[in-house]
């Protein structure tokens, strides 16, 4: 389509100035149609960009929540290991193995 517009533009440039010529009117119509298509395409791209930005923000929030949950889980695991270690340390020394302490 751009090729046609360039072609029309070149024809108009090389033609004597006459705004009412059928060729000029046809080219103006083609150019207006092309502008309308490009504006519609731009609007679609704007909409897609907005959707992508919203999705990006949702994903960013989800990643942050997962990181927080991961930190909490790591903390819980460390606490469990410490509690387990303290419990095993409190077992009487005469027990033969850890399983008997439970």
pLDDT confidence of residue 96: 47
Q: Where are the domains of the chain?
A: 2-101
Residue 70 has a pLDDT of 87
pLDDT, tens only, 39-84: 999 999 999 999 999 999 999 999 999 998 888 887 778 777 777 7
Which pLDDT score, from 0 to 100, does residue 26 have? 94
Is the confidence at residue 102, as pLDDT, over 60? no
Q: pLDDT-based confidence at 1, cuts 50/70/90?
A: very low
In whole angstroms, give the CA distance from residue 26 to residue 20. Answer: 10
């Amino acid at each position: 389509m751009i090729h046609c517009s360039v072609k029309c533009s070149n024809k108009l440039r090389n033609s004597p100035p006459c705004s009412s010529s059928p060729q000029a009117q046809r080219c103006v119509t083609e150019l207006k149609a092309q502008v309308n298509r490009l504006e519609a395409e731009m609007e679609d791209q704007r909409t897609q960009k907005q959707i992508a930005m919203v999705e990006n923000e949702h994903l960013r929030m989800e990643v942050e929540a997962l990181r927080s949950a991961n930190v909490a889980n790591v903390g819980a695991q460390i606490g469990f290991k410490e509690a387990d270690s303290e419990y095993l340390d409190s077992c009487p020394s005469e027990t033969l193995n850890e399983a008997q302490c439970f």
